[in-house]
Structure 1
């Protein structure tokens, strides 16, 4: 309670000054002193109750507003009860006038300081920029289940929770549990009366983030300190009482340690002096034991290893916003807008999408667009390390002309207008050298229906499928069939293959022809563009070929050179 008490005390200095003026003007009497005490105690209790409920951070702007409100409410009441008129004889008139002027001027001055601090917030971000935008590899970002679909599944499993009528599903958070990427969500109280009856929540759900057919599992783990608990068992209030001078970013989330025990995790930041603007260089993470309420504070990079995201998605969203808008200062963000970038709002959590790289580290992905309306091309994208808060911006100069995530979702939305299916969780992948948006397709109830693979620089190149594996295979096949497609297998070594043709098929597209064939006793599907080997369109069963091929792991081979024995000049 010390944090709330300190905030309340610091909300009354201006009231004390005005009270002093009143007592100087009014001849002291036991009645006036009694009235002052009654007004002060009543105001202090009401202000304390407000702080207990609202938990405003102990910052200069917040204290200034509270002092202003306290004076606005209590001073007229004080003057009325003591019988002092508002017009004074000198010197009281000048003193009170100065205080009123200072109070009025302080608010716009504080606003201006806050605007000026936007530049400092931008410079406090640990950031780097690279001109080469290399999309993710599909093996590095295995999250394939959208959070809407996962939440829908978990909601349907709520009946397994004891006293289920007390609870609703809390914040869904992606993380690694036993080296498997999972969504984790606690059950939370639905209101005060349910809290008074239940006292403790029953546990949390987990559901794999990589398998659309997986089912949620409920883990029994009673928690006394939660987001939905009241009074001093509320996690936010527990943190506030110890660290009122820090601002809490977003809602606390649970993360599960190696022993299966849940912990509430909350990102905090220290504001820039005289403002509420975040200083990204002074981030902290509070870790609360939901059973005992014990609280530990860490630097994000030094948090326990089981915590995948000491930096919350809310904080990552703030970083993207400051990084994109204030690159040349807040005035430029309002007027010139030189180099200004706007984060797209296609992310699954506060405009960002959590992903994991090949090393198991968690990042937040967001693509950036132009502030100019009706432009659907991506300027680049950011990756924010969820442990260190370091931001890397990939400018996309080598992938110019690719659509942004909003455009990718619109393509999906227009594909099924009669069913009202919509795109969700677009992530930019590198599929055989082609920047590709991979999008979940959901029905209006949040149920998964299909995957969509969309070539990022060709809005007409779209493949839909029921599973990630079959959609990827079909997309790669279509890439191989497109004669106009640039070389897409730079990371695959050439192999020399020879054999007898078993089946062949000529495919025509708007940009030319391609030939697909299989060899005897070989299930690999080989594709050769007719522009590279014109004689290939005459392939038939029984022809003997020798070729140089790049074969990917899905048994699809791209033919670079081919020699057909029966068609070669003698």
Structure 2
């Protein structure tokens, strides 16, 4: 209750000033005035406690100032009524000093906070730690291209709810993707379905986990009783528990479950303090509160200093806000409305608060979002952002080198149009750089949220789509299709060329889009080599038994793109 009492008392500062004015003004009726002051204070204090308890406003300068104005005005009216004072003098019919002061204060303060909030947008934008790079790194052979969509995972877990004791008391809570050991999983607590379920059950039974990388995995229930949860009431509610401990911080998003190495769940809540006299966040100083769901103990950490098992100290809601500040206010508030120079708008295709959590090759979680132009009817992506879920650092992958690539909305629409009779839809599009080609990887789900396919879509060519049942097989098929496409038979800048030599065992020449593509095998080498005749005109005369020397970009799926080739029989 400490936070609630502190907030309520701070909201009465102006009222105490007004009460003192009334006591001094009514010297002849001091006892009557004091009694009125007490009655008004007690009434407003009880109402204030209830309001603060329900809405939990943070202790910030704008919040406390507005609360003082409201309570001061209502308190003044109450004192006028109880002391039979008149808000107007009989002679001038003008407001007396205290009434005029409150109105003037409100006229100045409320618009003032709005104006300061506008000017502070630049400070919030500048508080983002930002790095800009030209292109994403290509996927390596050990990278998992994409995780299972949360809709599919939730559907499976919902069907497994019957294993929970007293299952009629509970529903599934917020899914949170995280890494437990070496496995990337979704974690979802069971939550109370309402007040009477909480009143009877007192505590929840535990949480579910389900693989976020294996579409065939089944959910597993973990028994771990929790008294302090998002769905609990009164002082057992996690949001209220955090507020009571740190009422001077603003909470971002809903608290989520993170599981430590021993299988114990913790609720984590992202917090921040505002900049100056506003409620705008300082994104360099984000904190996280960790709540023990058994004891209710709360610990506060800087986000980057949270325990290692916490993969997402920064909530998806906070990451979504960070994208807004980064994209819209690059040149300030005025530019975001009128000129819109360099403005980028985050798309809303993410799985959590318009962002999609993914893991990199180092096991660190990031939030992915693609950015598009503020102009209407333009579906091309300007680039995309990855926000580190621990540090809040934002990396912007500039799409200028790949002008014309579609955005995430366009990728989803391609999938949606592919299976109209089945009503399958695209979910969780993520942009990857595959062998130098920006590629959208999309989950294909049925109307019940069950996984059906992966779709790999070339971002610069809406007709270039490959579907498959598994992430690895679809990636291999997509890479093979790229190798056979004349427009893609060239190496990426990032890859180093390797030298090979041998004797031709098999060879085939095909014509694609008026260009001839030569594919061949070397003896004792399983790699499929592909060369564009435009680069090596003599390659169309290759035949079995020819000895060759070549330089090629070797890929991990036993294919290679040939850059140069020398044919012994034709080199004379």
- TM-score bracket, normalised by the shorter chain, equals over 0.9
In structure 1, what is the equivalent of residue 305 of structure 2?
302
In structure 2, what is the equivalent of residue 58 of structure 1?
59
Q: Find 1:375's aligned residue among 357, 374, 378.
A: 378
Deviations 1:183-231, CA, capped at 9 Å, x for gaps: 1111111111111111111111111111111111111111111111111
Q: Please say if residues 428 and 437 of structure 1, whose CA atoms lie closer than 8 Å, have aligned partners that are also in contact.
A: yes
Aligned positions of 1:19-418 closer than 5 A: 19-23=19-23, 28=29, 33-88=34-89, 93-130=96-133, 132-137=134-139, 139-140=142-143, 142-418=145-421
Provide the C-alpha distance between the structure 1 equivalents of 2:483 and 2:16, rounded to a whole number of angstroms. Answer: 78
Q: Please say if residues 344 and 382 of structure 2, whose CA atoms lie closer than 8 Å, have aligned partners that are also in contact.
A: yes
Using the TM superposition, give the Cα deviation of residue 34 of structure 1 relative to its aligned residue in structure 2, in angstroms.
Answer: 4.0
TM-score normalized by structure 1?
A: 0.92
Using the TM superposition, give the Cα deviation of residue 39 of structure 1 relative to its aligned residue in structure 2, in angstroms.
Answer: 3.0
Provide the C-alpha distance between the structure 2 equivalents of 1:507 and 1:416, rounded to a whole number of angstroms. Answer: 31
Using the TM superposition, give the Cα deviation of residue 311 of structure 1 relative to its aligned residue in structure 2, in angstroms.
Answer: 1.5
Provide the C-alpha distance between the structure 2 equivalents of 1:459 and 1:103, rounded to a whole number of angstroms. Answer: 56
In structure 1, what is the equivalent of residue 5 of structure 2?
5
Using the TM superposition, give the Cα deviation of residue 487 of structure 1 relative to its aligned residue in structure 2, in angstroms.
Answer: 1.7
Deviations 1:309-333, CA, capped at 9 Å, x for gaps: 2111111111111111111111111
Q: Find 2:458's aligned residue among 452, 455, 459.
A: 455
Three-state SS of the structure 2 residue aligned to 1:69 is helix
Provide the C-alpha distance between the structure 2 equivalents of 1:200 and 1:442, rounded to a whole number of angstroms. Answer: 34
Q: Please say if residues 21 and 92 of structure 1, whose CA atoms lie closer than 8 Å, have aligned partners that are also in contact.
A: no
Mean Cα displacement is larger for which, 402-411 or 88-97? 88-97
Q: Please say if residues 195 and 230 of structure 1, whose CA atoms lie closer than 8 Å, have aligned partners that are also in contact.
A: yes
Provide the C-alpha distance between the structure 2 equivalents of 1:434 and 1:188, rounded to a whole number of angstroms. Answer: 43
In structure 2, what is the equivalent of residue 501 of structure 1?
505
Distance 1:561 1:136, change over 3 A: closer
Q: Please say if residues 434 and 488 of structure 1, whose CA atoms lie closer than 8 Å, have aligned partners that are also in contact.
A: no
Three-state SS of the structure 1 residue aligned to 2:263 is coil
Q: Please say if residues 484 and 511 of structure 1, whose CA atoms lie closer than 8 Å, have aligned partners that are also in contact.
A: no
Q: How many residues in Structure 1 have an aligned counterpart in Structure 2?
A: 566
Mean Cα displacement is larger for which, 398-407 or 470-479? 398-407
Using the TM superposition, give the Cα deviation of residue 7 of structure 1 relative to its aligned residue in structure 2, in angstroms.
Answer: 0.7
Three-state SS of the structure 1 residue aligned to 2:64 is helix
Provide the C-alpha distance between the structure 2 equivalents of 1:455 and 1:336, rounded to a whole number of angstroms. Answer: 32
Deviations 1:368-404, CA, capped at 9 Å, x for gaps: 2211112222222222221111222222333333222
Mean Cα displacement is larger for which, 281-290 or 403-412? 403-412
Three-state SS of the structure 1 residue aligned to 2:53 is helix
Aligned positions of 1:457-536 closer than 5 A: 457-485=460-488, 487-488=490-491, 491=495, 493-502=497-506, 505-510=508-513, 512-518=515-521, 523-534=526-537
Q: Please say if residues 135 and 435 of structure 1, whose CA atoms lie closer than 8 Å, have aligned partners that are also in contact.
A: no
Q: Please say if residues 144 and 213 of structure 2, whose CA atoms lie closer than 8 Å, have aligned partners that are also in contact.
A: no
Using the TM superposition, give the Cα deviation of residue 173 of structure 1 relative to its aligned residue in structure 2, in angstroms.
Answer: 1.0
Provide the C-alpha distance between the structure 2 equivalents of 1:325 and 1:160, rounded to a whole number of angstroms. Answer: 47
Mean Cα displacement is larger for which, 188-197 or 326-335? 326-335
Provide the C-alpha distance between the structure 2 equivalents of 1:381 and 1:286, rounded to a whole number of angstroms. Answer: 29
**Structure 2: any 5+ residue segments left out of the alignment?**
none
In structure 1, what is the equivalent of residue 557 of structure 2?
554
TM-score normalized by structure 2?
A: 0.92
Provide the C-alpha distance between the structure 1 equivalents of 2:504 and 2:82, rounded to a whole number of angstroms. Answer: 105
Deviations 1:65-118, CA, capped at 9 Å, x for gaps: 323333454443443333333313689713321222212332111111111111
Q: Please say if residues 310 and 386 of structure 1, whose CA atoms lie closer than 8 Å, have aligned partners that are also in contact.
A: yes
Q: Please say if residues 501 and 543 of structure 1, whose CA atoms lie closer than 8 Å, have aligned partners that are also in contact.
A: yes
Q: Please say if residues 132 and 398 of structure 2, whose CA atoms lie closer than 8 Å, have aligned partners that are also in contact.
A: yes
Using the TM superposition, give the Cα deviation of residue 422 of structure 1 relative to its aligned residue in structure 2, in angstroms.
Answer: 1.8
Deviations 1:6-57, CA, capped at 9 Å, x for gaps: 1111222233344444455555276654444333212211111111111111
Q: Please say if residues 145 and 471 of structure 2, whose CA atoms lie closer than 8 Å, have aligned partners that are also in contact.
A: no
Mean Cα displacement is larger for which, 485-494 or 229-238? 485-494
Provide the C-alpha distance between the structure 1 equivalents of 2:73 and 2:168, rounded to a whole number of angstroms. Answer: 44
Q: Please say if residues 22 and 84 of structure 1, whose CA atoms lie closer than 8 Å, have aligned partners that are also in contact.
A: no
Using the TM superposition, give the Cα deviation of residue 298 of structure 1 relative to its aligned residue in structure 2, in angstroms.
Answer: 1.0
Provide the C-alpha distance between the structure 2 equivalents of 1:564 and 1:136, rounded to a whole number of angstroms. Answer: 31
Three-state SS of the structure 2 residue aligned to 1:236 is helix
Mean Cα displacement is larger for which, 304-313 or 482-491? 482-491
Q: Please say if residues 58 and 250 of structure 2, whose CA atoms lie closer than 8 Å, have aligned partners that are also in contact.
A: yes
Q: Please say if residues 455 and 461 of structure 1, whose CA atoms lie closer than 8 Å, have aligned partners that are also in contact.
A: yes
Deviations 1:278-321, CA, capped at 9 Å, x for gaps: 11122111111111111111111211111112111111111111
Mean Cα displacement is larger for which, 92-101 or 117-126? 92-101
Q: Please say if residues 495 and 553 of structure 2, whose CA atoms lie closer than 8 Å, have aligned partners that are also in contact.
A: no
**Structure 1: any 5+ residue segments left out of the alignment?**
none
